Amino acid sequence: MGDSKLDCLIIGCGITGAVIARNMAEKGCHVTIWDRRSHIGGNMYDFIDNHGILIHRYGPHTFHTKKKAIYEYISKYADWQPYELRCMAKINGKFTPTPFNFQTIDDFYTMAGAKKLKKIIKSEFKEKMTATVLEVMGHENESIKKYGEFLFENDYSLYTAKQWGISPDKVDPSILKRVPLRFSYETGYFDDRYQVMPQISYTKFFEKILDHENIDIRLNKEAMGHLLIDEERHKVLLDGEICNIPVIYTGALDELFKIDEGPLPYRSLEFKWKYEETDSKQPAPVVAYPQEKDFTRITEYKKLPVQDVKGTTYAIEYPKAYRYGAGNEPYYPVLTRESNELYSKYKNRADKIKNLYYCGRLADFKYYNMDQALERALVIYKHIML
C-alpha cells in the first residue's frame, strides 16, 4: 500500500469499523479505513435534506441498549437525547400499536370480546408481560391461539414474506421473536434502559469518533479490487502482495471469497422519498403496512427525532433481493437453515486466515442492533490487541 506507518486496515466505515479504528488509534496504531461509499457512518448516515429535515438515508435508526457501558462509550463522542420509539401497523384500515398490545385487542374485538380475551391472557400468562407470536399461536387455550393466528395472518406472515422474500415457515424463528406481543397497554417499541438519539446527528457522532491523527479515511474505495485471500498461505493479499498487518473486514463474507461457494442471501431496500406540505403523514414515526402489496413500512423523519419544521419528509421502503454488482446495498442477512449452513462454509475458511478479522452484521451474518454491533467491535478490538 506504500504506507510504512500503516498498522491496520479496516474495510468499512460503519459503527463496527469506526469503533475498532478509534480504539486502535488511541493505542498508537496507524489505521486506514476504506469504504466504497462516498460518506462515513455506514447505514447510520444521516443529513439535512432540501426541506430542512434531518433524514436517515438507509432507514430509521434509534440507539437503544440495556448496558450502561455501551451507553457510556457512545457518550464520549456525542451528546444524546432520550427518545422512545413508537411504532404502529395498519391492519384492516386501522392503525394499531406495535409491538401489539392490549390496545390491539380493543381495536379488533368487540368490547365484550376484548375484555374476555384480556382476562384469559392475564390468567394464562400470569406475571409474564410479553410472549412471541409463535408462543401465542401454539397456546392450548383456543381464544389465545386464535388471537395469535389473527395477528400472524394479517401482519407477521405478510410482512415477513415481503421483507425476506421467502415463506415465513423458512425464516429463522429468531426473526419472528424480535417483536413480541405485549400483555399490557405499554406502547414503547423497546424495553432497553437506554433509548436515545444524538442531539445533532449520527454523522456528527461518527466525525467525532474518527477525529484522530492516527486514522486515515479513504472513501469511494472498493476493497474487492485490491483484496485477495491466499488460502494456501493463510494470508490476505493486498494488490498481490502478502499483507502482514491485521485486516478487519465488515462486508459480506462471501464476496471476500469471490462467492465461489454460492451467494449468501441478503435483502436490500429501495427507498422512495416523498415530501408533503402537511404537518403529519401518519400517527407514528414508523408505521408498518403488512397488507400493502409491495412496500413494508413508511418512516416519517420529522418525528425521528421530533423536529419543529414545516412539511414532512418520509420514505417508503420496498424490500428487494441483493445481488453483488447490481448497484444496491446488502442490509439484512436472510437467516434460514440453508443460509446458515452456507455461511458456515465461508466462516470456516475465513477462520484459517491468520491476519483476517471479520465482524459486523454482514460479515457475521447476524441481525445485529447497533449496540450489538458496537459490542462486537469492542470484542474484536481486544482480540486483535492480544
Rounded to 5 degrees, φ, ψ at 60 are -70, 135
39/44 Cα distance (integer angstroms): 11
Cα 313 to its chain centre, rounded Å, is 21
66/75 Cα distance (integer angstroms): 15
pLDDT digits (tens, 9 = 90+) for 218-241: 999 999 999 999 999 999 999 999
24/248 Cα distance (integer angstroms): 12
Rounded to 5 degrees, φ, ψ at 220 are 55, 35
Nearest Cα residue to 327 out of 257, 253, 270: 270
pLDDT digits (tens, 9 = 90+) for 231-276: 999 999 999 999 999 999 999 999 999 999 999 999 999 999 999 9
**Residue numbers in the chain where pLDDT is lower than 70:** 1-5
pTM for the full predicted model: 0.94
- 6, with CB counted inside 10 A (0-12, 13-18, 19+), is middle
Task: Give the helix/strand (H/E) hosting 205.
Answer: helix 202-209
**Alpha helices (H) along 97-152:** 102-108, 111-125, 133-137, 142-151
158/133 Cα distance (integer angstroms): 14
Domains of the chain: 8-81+198-264+333-384 (3.40.50.720), 90-182 (no CATH), 266-321 (no CATH)
* pLDDT at site 195: 98
* pLDDT at site 1: 46
Q: Which residue has the cell 394464562?
A: 124
* pLDDT at site 67: 98
Nearest Cα residue to 221 out of 33, 23, 26: 33
Reported residue count of the chain is 386
Long-range contacts of 99-102 (CB under 8 A, 24+ apart): 99/130, 99/179, 99/180, 99/181, 99/182, 99/189, 100/151, 100/155, 100/181, 100/182, 101/181, 101/182, 101/183, 101/184, 101/185, 101/186, 101/187, 102/182, 102/183, 102/184, 102/185
